[in-house]
Amino acid sequence: MPRCAPLRLPLLFATLLAACAAQADGVGLGTLDTREPVTGTKVPAAIFYPSREAKANASTDIGPYTVQAQRDAAPADGKFPLIVLSHGHLGSMYGHHDLAAELARHGYIVAAPQHTGDSYDDASGAGTDRALLGRAWQASAVIDALLADPRIGAHIDAARIGAAGFSAGGYTTLLLLGAQPDFDLFPKYCAQHPGMPELCDRPLPAKMRTFDTPPPTVDARVRAGFAMAPFSILFDADSFRSMQRPVFLYIAQKDQVLAPADNGLRIRGLIPNLAGFAEVPGAGHYVFLPPCSAAFAKEVPAICTDAPGVDRAAAHRDINAAAVKFFDAQFKAKTVAPVQSTGQVKNEL
């Protein structure tokens, strides 16, 4: 990618500097550890960021993933919006690495926390407020830590912070924007839908509430949210009364885990400032996870196998492009080109 040459005129130079900041040659990758103060739990996070030092085709193998980013490459000059990216139930901080890298390539810093108590290596808080509220507290703690980080913090524009997430991470995104969950709706839903996979096919914790007066989950710094197949059975019409920030809602049409009629489609009409809606036709819940390697697909076929006719790679090109377009519209003062669909998505505004 050609370098940008400086100009002498101050206004033109400032304009060019802003444009160059978004034209990083590659994606840098780092990690950060912080502590969430309400529960005192340690929260690790992966950090993706624009980098001129990183090679455009650099990749890093991490567990079952090939991440399109270069470890510890120097951040690009300039200030960038920050997106906190929340994984789903029992996921990991690299679980949406392709979306994180795509956002970084387009001039965003992305912080992906690994939610202690609700991750692949620690399910100790699942089904309780330590996860159902703690996820949002953890996301806010990661924002705090990253803004204070001596290496990355200076490159973050604190006035431009958004959130994105999948499944329980989509729910987390809505919490950060001000949605209020009602835990009593969980057992009621399971009484009506016994055996629903991952929700009601096992007993709920005997004690879901462990905090008498939990702090709020809303984070006023988070100004927009991109929610993918959000876990939504804890929300009703009252849940969104104080939520005014823009939201893009994305669902899987044939979601077998979070039935659209009970989740995404139901809250679609309840969200006050819905900026956009899309669905992946014919797809199940896990279409939002990146395409799996052959070895990983053999190990966990349930989350790697799509219905006939669903092209996960093509769907991700649409999903990732929609996320970039949405956040560009919220955080960047420029005209955003329409997303060119591959046919793996149905968009509605």
- Say how far apart CA 323 and CA 329 lie, in whole Å: 10
> Which one-letter amino acid corresponds to residue 12?
L
Q: What is the distance, to the nearest Å, from the Cα of residue 229 to the centroid of all Cα atoms in its chain?
A: 11
- Say how far apart CA 214 and CA 198 lie, in whole Å: 26
Q: How many structural domains are present in the chain? A: 1
Taking the CB of residue 138, how many other CB atoms lie within 10 A of it?
29
pLDDT in tens, 325-344: 999 999 996 544 444 444 55
Token pair, residue 55, equals 């090679």
- Say how far apart CA 190 and CA 204 lie, in whole Å: 9
Residue with tokens 């193998």: 61
Query: What pLDDT, on a 0 to 100 scale, did the predictor assign at position 344?
Result: 53
* Confidence band for 198, pLDDT divided at 50, 70 and 90: confident
Domain presence at residue 288: yes
18-22, 84-88, 206-210, 345-349: which has the highest mean pLDDT?
Answer: 84-88
Would strands 26-36 and 70-71 be described as parallel, antiparallel, or unpaired?
parallel
Between 158 and 349, where is the model more confident?
A: 158
Query: What pLDDT, on a 0 to 100 scale, did the predictor assign at position 334?
Result: 53
Query: What pLDDT, on a 0 to 100 scale, did the predictor assign at position 25?
Result: 74
Averaged pLDDT, 96-101:
98
pLDDT in tens, 294-333: 999 999 999 999 999 999 999 999 999 999 999 999 999 6
Query: What pLDDT, on a 0 to 100 scale, did the predictor assign at position 67?
Result: 98
What range does the domain containing 330 cover?
23-348
Q: Which residues pair with 163 in a beta bridge?
A: 84, 225
CB 171 within 8 A of CB 234: yes
Taking the CB of residue 61, how many other CB atoms lie within 10 A of it?
9
- Say how far apart CA 152 and CA 154 lie, in whole Å: 6
> Which one-letter amino acid corresponds to residue 238?
D
> Which one-letter amino acid corresponds to residue 111?
A
Domain presence at residue 12: no
* CATH code where residue 87 lies: 3.40.50.1820
CB 64 within 8 A of CB 3: no
Among 306, 289, 305, smallest CA distance to 297 is for: 305
Domain presence at residue 3: no
- Cβ-in-10-Å burial (0-12, 13-18, 19+) of 291 comes to middle
The gap between the terminal CA atoms of the chain, to the nearest Å, is 34
Token pair, residue 230, equals 């959000």
Domain presence at residue 299: yes
CB 276 within 8 A of CB 268: no
Domain presence at residue 17: no
For the chain, the C-alpha Rg in angstroms (whole number) is 20
Domain presence at residue 2: no
Token pair, residue 341, equals 């669909």
Among 265, 247, 255, 264, smallest CA distance to 323 is for: 247
